[in-house]
Structure 1
Amino acid sequence: MDESDTGIYARALGEFGVVRIGIASRRVISLSIPEEPPDEATRGHPLLDQIERVLAGESDDFEDVPIALTVPTDHRAVLERVREVPYGETTDVATLTRTVPGLDSEEDEGVVRAALEANPVPILLPSHRVVDGPSALPAGLDRRLRELESSP
Structure 2
Amino acid sequence: MTATIGGGPGDTGVFGRQYDAIDRAVELGTASGRLISVSFPETLPSDADGEHPLLDRVHEYLDGAEDDFADVEVAITVPTDQRSVLESVRNVPYGESVDIERIVKMTGGLDHEEDEDLRTAREALRANPVPLVVPDHRVRNAEGATPETVAARLRDIEGVRSV
TM-score range for the pair, normalised by the shorter chain length: over 0.9
Matched, 1:90 2:97: yes
Contact 2:12 2:30 in 1 (8 A): yes
For residue 14 of structure 1, what is the amino acid of its counterpart? D
Q: What is the distance in 2 between the residues matched to 1:96 and 1:139?
A: 19
1:120 to 102, 122, 129: 129
Map 1:2-151 to 2 at 5 A: 2-16=8-22, 17-104=24-111, 105-107=113-115, 108-150=117-159
The amino acid across from 2:91 in the alignment is E
Query: How far apart are residue 15 of structure 1 and its match?
Result: 3.8
TM-score, normalization by structure 2 = 0.88
1:39-61: CA deviation from partner (whole Å, max 9, x where unpaired): 22111111011011111111000
Question: Gaps spanning 5+ residues in structure 1: where?
Answer: none
The number of residue pairs the alignment matches comes to 151
C-alpha offsets along residues 78-135 of structure 1, whole Å, 9 cap, x if unaligned? 0001111111111000111112111113311111101001100000001111011102
Structure 1 residue 4, shift from structure 2 partner: 3.5
**Contact preservation (8 Å) 1:113, 1:134:** yes
3-state DSSP class of the match of 1:10? strand
Structure 1 segments (4+ residues) deviating >4 Å: none
Q: Give, as a single letter, the amino acid of the residue that structure 2 aligns with 1:70.
A: T
Q: Percent identity?
A: 46
> Which amino acid letter does the alignment assign opposite residue 94 of structure 2?
Y
Contact preservation (8 Å) 2:90, 2:134: yes
- Structure 2's unaligned 5+ residue stretches are 1-5
Distance, in Å, in 1 between the alignment partners of 2:10 and 2:57 is: 18
Higher helix share goes to which structure? 1
